[in-house]
Amino acid sequence: MSQIQEKSPQHCAKKKVININKHHKKLIYTFTTFLLSILLLILVIWFILHPSKPEFALKEAEIYQLGLSGSHLLNSSIQITLLSKNPNQKVGIYYDEIQVYASYKGQRITLDSSIPPFYQENKDTNLLSMVLVANELPVDPSFGYEMGRDQMVGRLVLNLKSNGRLRWKVGTWVSGRYMFIVNCVVVLPFGSSAAPAGPLISKQGAQCLTTV
């Protein structure tokens, strides 16, 4: 006599669930492997090309106005020209945003000035000119005293600072956004007149420090 074995519906359901789970695991494994391969390829390209940070230099600075209105309200007008260079051989740079301002002894003396977004080819250079201004900008009460001391010395030291976001471009691949900071130090001759009526001009130029 042969023995007949019947599988219950519950048993079939369990087998189907097991098969579905195996299928899902296989899909997840395949997707994860593909994603890791893409990331590894990007890293290999990145390390081979090794993008260098952009280089900035101050070409010219002219101060047309820098004086107090009252005891601690500053009016300023400064025109500057920056040279931006992409030192990379095979990497382009998208500058998505750039904000520039001037400071004196740790105090802002202008508001932010924005540079329109632009793309820079490899080994390319761009001249960036802008006017930095402030009207009745509150400053520290010691500002006038510090200016007087520098006037006695005969020179004025300013920091021209920039911060923004950039992206690297390699072929058709474009990286995520990276923040960068630029700091330029400019020394201008500061006469002994009662106030810097201007323009105070520096055409010596200066190399700037860039951090990405």
- Condensed to tens digits (0 to 9), the pLDDT of residues 152-188 reads 999 999 999 999 999 999 888 898 999 999 999 999 9
| pLDDT higher than 70, residue 209 | yes
Topology (CATH level 3) of domain 50-211: Immunoglobulin-like (2.60.40)
Average pLDDT, the chain: 86
CA 1 to chain CA centroid, Å, is 85
CA distance 76 to 90: 41
pLDDT of residue 4: 47
pLDDT band at 192 (very low <50, low <70, confident <90, very high): low
The answer for residues whose C-beta is within 8 angstroms of residue 205's C-beta and 6 or more apart is: 57, 58, 59, 60
Predicted pLDDT of residue 173: 85
pLDDT of 194: 45
Give me the mean pLDDT over the 14-25 stretch.
61
Over the stretch 41-87, which tens digit does the pLDDT of each residue have? Answer: 776 666 566 789 999 999 999 999 999 988 889 999 999 999 999 99
